[in-house]
Each structure stands twice: as C-alpha cells, then as structure tokens.
Amino acid sequence: MIDLHIHTNNSDGHTSVQEVLKLAQKQKLSLISITDHNTVEAYNILKKFETSKLFTGRILTGIEMHCAFGETCIELLGYGIDCNKMQKFLNELNYDKIFDEIYKAQFAQLLTTFKNLGITYKGKVGYEFLKKNSAVYFIKEHIFCHPENKKFFPDEVWNNYKLFSRICMADKTSDFYFPAHLYYPSVSKVANVIRKSGGKVFLAHPFNYGIGYGKNDDDKINLVQNFISNLNEAINLDGIECFHPSATQSQTDALLKFAKQNKFLISGGSDYHGVGIQNKLGIEMKETILF
C-alpha cells in the first residue's frame, strides 16, 4: 500500500503532518507523498522532528499546483522536488494573491447569478468565507440547504456538492461558469517550475476536470485521453495519476493502458483530506512506480 496524494492542514486538509504520518504507519504504507496545494510547508515541519519515530516508510517530496491549460483549470503533481528551490518559485507565483483575486471575483459573480436566477440563500457571507472554505462549501451551507434550489442544478451536483466547481463552474454553458483560467498561471509555467525544482510532472486525477461530462463512459475516456495527449505535446508529461477515487474501474484500466502505450510513469493516491469520502489513507496499486 502506498499513497502519493495526501493533503494536510497546511493547505485544504484537516489533519496535521504528524497525524498523517501516524495514520500512514497504522495503515502499513511503504511510500507516501504529501502533496499540499501550492505549498511545501509540510516539509518544513518534517525537518523539525525525527520522522522515523512516527513513520518508517519512505517519504517522497511532492506538491499539487493549480494551473491553466487553455480554458481548462487543472492540477499538476510534482514529485521528487527540492523544496527550497520550489519555495523560491512559489514566492514568485504568489498563489495567495491569485486566490484572493479569484475569491473576490467568484463571490461577486455568484451573488449576481443567484439574484438573476431567483435562487434562495440566507445569511450574510462575504468573499472571506470563500477564501476560507471555497465556493463548494458556500453552495453546501447556503444554497443546497434550501430544497427549492434543486431545480437550478444538475442532479449529480445536487447529490454531491463537491462537484459544483468541477462541473457547473467549469462548464461554459452553465449559468455558474467562472473563467478561473484567466487567473491561474499557465500549465507550461508550472511544469517548468516543477522541473527547475528537480521534480517530475504528473497530471493529477484526469477524470476530475469535467471533461466529457454528460457523455457515456467510452466517449468520456476518449476525450480525456485526447486531452492528455494534447497536454503532453505542450509540456512533455512524465506521468499520470492513474489510481484515484474519482475514477471508475473502467477509467482506471483505460488510464493504465494509455500510460503504458505512451510510456508514462504511473502514480496513485487517495487525495486524502481527512473528511468526507477522502478520509482514508492508502491505495492499492498493481503497477510499480519508478523514480
């Protein structure tokens, strides 16, 4: 058992670095990577104590970074990075400023959309709520608690509020579409940062970007594979996260086959956040990862 996609409370997770190590040890994992969003602070914390006292397996440095490929917002995983070098690049990219601008714009647009559509919500909520909790939790706490709002959302989103940003806000035909790609750094820039930090570049959870939403599984798989091929032409991917909770078994099998055909490295992880469906460390992988 391994896990190469873990979040701590240094980004949007709910578990400390120390507790993650204890859980990994309890699950008898042999290899882990903490891949917090746009930060390597977890690795600064790891330097402050003897990690082997909590976890006896291998720890591979990692990060998950937001970026834009055309009009699609995606996340790249960087593995084997030099955290000191990465920190210098993160200071230059200034994700805090980027997301502050995004949350302000998102909140203003959401309120306008709610008013235009006649969507019910209660409570005074400023953009600081989005900054702390993200748009999906705003939807959960202030919109989806009113049954009369169901008619404004796809059933898939109403039944799983976490899909709101992946589907509604990413779909240009949706009333809730938000052009986040205008704010994110380009995929080429982020891939370059990962490589300059000594790391390898992987595409995180390929089926988690709304590509092929509403299509049957075969069509969705083909669209995702075409997307990966185009992305590879742009940045020369090192690997793909083939094992992830968002992918069905058929999608995982297709990714594995596609990765082998294109000589991509293979990774996988739970995308652990400590809450909800992503609350258990560890993932079984049939393939060996070589770094």
Over the chain, what is the mean pLDDT? 90
CB 70 within 8 A of CB 181: yes
Structure tokens that stand for 9 in this block = 């409370």
The predicted model scores a pTM of 0.90
Burial class (CB in 10 A: 0-12, 13-18, 19+), 38: buried
- Residue 212: pLDDT band (50, 70, 90) is confident
Length of the chain: 291
- Quick one: average pLDDT of 27-47? 96
Q: What is the pLDDT of residue 130?
A: 67
What is the per-residue pLDDT across 149-172, written as a single tens digit (0 to 9) for each? Answer: 999 998 988 998 878 887 888 888
Burial profile 76-107: b = 16 or more Cβ within 10 angstroms, e = fewer: bbbbebebeebbebbeebebeebbeebbebbb
Strands 31-34 and 62-69: unpaired
- Quick one: average pLDDT of 61-73? 96
What is the per-residue pLDDT across 223-240, written as a single tens digit (0 to 9) for each? Answer: 999 999 999 999 999 999
Q: What is the pLDDT of residue 167?
A: 82
- Residue 259: pLDDT band (50, 70, 90) is very high
- Residue 268: pLDDT band (50, 70, 90) is very high
DSSP state of 167: I
Q: What strands, in cross-sheet order, belong to the sheet with 265-268?
A: 62-69, 72-79, 200-203, 239-243, 265-268
Residue 137: pLDDT above 90?
no
Structure tokens that stand for 273 in this block = 């956040």
- How far apart (Å, rounded) are the C-alpha atoms in residues 229 and 214? 21
Helix/strand/coil for 286: coil
Handedness of CA 5, 79, 18, 28 (dihedral sign): positive
Q: Give the DSSP per-residue string, 196-249.
A: HTT-EEEE--GGGS-TTTTS-HHHHHHHHHHHHHHHHHHH---EEEEE-TTS-H
- Residue 289: pLDDT band (50, 70, 90) is low
> Could you tell me what percent of the chain has a pLDDT over 70?
93
- How far apart (Å, rounded) are the C-alpha atoms in residues 79 and 82? 9
Higher pLDDT, 277 or 117: 117
Identify the structural domains of the chain with CATH numbers, from first to last.
2-93+186-268 (3.20.20.140), 96-181 (no CATH)
